[in-house]
Amino acid sequence: MGRKSRIGKGWKNIMILIRGGRVVDPATGRDERADLVLEGGVIREICAPGQAAETDFDQVIDAKNLVAAPGLVDVHVHFRDPGLTYKEDIHSGARAAARGGFTTVVCMANTKPIVDNEETLRYVLAEGKKTGIHVLSCAAVSRGFEGRELTDMEGLLAAGAAGFTDDGIPLMDGVFVKKAMEEAARLDTVLSFHEEDKSFIVNNGINHGAVSDRLGIYGSPALAEDALVARDCMIALETGAKVDIQHISSGHAVRMVRLAKNLGANVWAEVTPHHFALTEEAVLKYGTLAKMNPPLRTETDRAMLIEGLKDGTIDMIATDHAPHSAEEKARPLTEAPSGIIGLETALALGITCLVKPGHLSLCELMKKMSFNPARLYKLDCGRLEAGAPADLVLFDENEEWTVTDFASRAANSPFVGERLTGRVKYTICEGKVVYQDR
């Protein structure tokens, strides 16, 4: 540690030296040993190791065995606040995010009440400002999630909405979707879509296939996802809207997004760590802890998801962090709610399942987990350079650890007890250490 002065100047004026870390910047491709100097909530400079005098700083972090990267950005989380805070609230969700290396998260609108009005949106954003990380929120596309009437997108944007989604409730009316995309294009904002045509689904959360047949249920076929992805890719191409295909799980859907991008559509895609790490077989091992919408699919689908990450078809890794109580997940498979928590295991799953096997470089993983998500929402983060916000994650890419506990209020994860590689050691947001591994 360096000196502990600067009394009365406030934490935003604290100077931190991150010494000798492997600096990985997905914005520029930089990957080299360097020192980072943080001051006043921004990166003041990046310099050669040993160039800065340690006595000039309030805190010195020895990062010689660590990777220093931009703070992770998750464009898809559920903090259940307001209305369902027995599962999670904004503060517990933010603690889980910080522990996972995330400095920015975008909450979904399916709270109670729904974020389809300025009052609820302002509540979420105000609580988010108290957490130490950047908590943003989408607003609903349709009033009441009913898929019939557009929300006041312009007013909600002015009130601070990051974008718009009815996540959890697919929009079934194509004419309405086109109207929403036209308005989003006019306002230059983002629409994020949950793509599951419920008319093809009997039991959601479980893939229709060998495992569902073995369990004696029909499940949810990939067709349900593919049909809406195809529709919305073509409407996006027609309207010019910026569209995020959420939590993509089907290999055919990946191919359709690839085609839409080649045709010139402004379509983005996100994949969750559980979809690139697990298959439908996990349902037999973990039961309801492997139940999610869209469901885990086949090994062929998983391989196509990874190929989509490798070739850039899939732009982002997003957790779809979905907390539920133990009592809810203890219900029978067809009755339990879908979804798992993911913020605290996402980086390690990326390293374990993508970097270690050679599918992605570490810099490419950071692009999927920080730079590209920031680009989607035009956020000033996801990069490491002088003048950039001092939002960083420091992690040991080689440390092995066993998943045992969570900062989240919930623990509904199939990865409990699993051995993963890559552990967050520090999370720094606006120049302040908001998480440190002890």
Residue 324 is labelled as binding a ligand: yes
CA 53 to each of CA 19, 300, 388: distance values in angstroms, whole numbers, following the listed order:
10, 53, 22
Tokens representing residue 224 in the block: 């349900």
Q: Which backbone phi and psi does 394 adopt, to 5 degrees? A: -115, 125
| Chain centre distance of CA 98 | 12
Tokens representing residue 101 in the block: 């290396």
Tokens representing residue 60 in the block: 């010195």
Tokens representing residue 143 in the block: 């009033």
Residue 79 is labelled as binding a ligand: yes
Q: What secondary structure letter does DSSP report for 290?
A: G
List, in sequence order, every beta strand (DSSP E) within 154-273.
164-165, 190-193, 242-245, 267-271
CA 430 to each of CA 57, 129, 302, 391, 393: distance values in angstroms, whole numbers, following the listed order:
16, 12, 36, 5, 12
**CA 223 – CA 208 distance, rounded (Å):** 10
Residue 372 is labelled as binding a ligand: no
Residue 76 is labelled as binding a ligand: yes
| Chain centre distance of CA 323 | 14
Active-site residue (options: 74, 320, 391, 396): 320
Q: Decide: 90 and 127 in contact? Cβ < 8 Å.
A: yes
- For the chain, the first-to-last Cα distance in angstroms comes to 16
Residue 359 is labelled as binding a ligand: no
Residue 110 is labelled as binding a ligand: yes
Residue 311 is labelled as binding a ligand: no
DSSP characters over 58-81 = SEEEE-TTSEEEEPEEEEEE---T
Q: Is 320 a catalytic residue?
A: yes
Tokens representing residue 271 in the block: 């994949």
Residue 321 is labelled as binding a ligand: no
**CA 393 – CA 429 distance, rounded (Å):** 9
Q: Which residue has the tokens 């962090």?
A: 321
Angle at 264 between CA 258 and CA 270, to 5 degrees: 45
Residue 405 is labelled as binding a ligand: no
**CA 385 – CA 373 distance, rounded (Å):** 18
Q: What is the largest CA-CA distance in the chain?
A: 67
**CA 101 – CA 94 distance, rounded (Å):** 11
Residue 117 is labelled as binding a ligand: no
**CA 303 – CA 353 distance, rounded (Å):** 11
**What are the residue numbers of the active site?**
320
Extract the annotated binding site: 76, 78-80, 110, 167, 194, 247, 293, 320, 324
Extract the annotated binding site for substrate: 78-80, 110, 293, 324
Extract the annotated binding site for Zn(2+): 76, 78, 167, 194, 247, 320
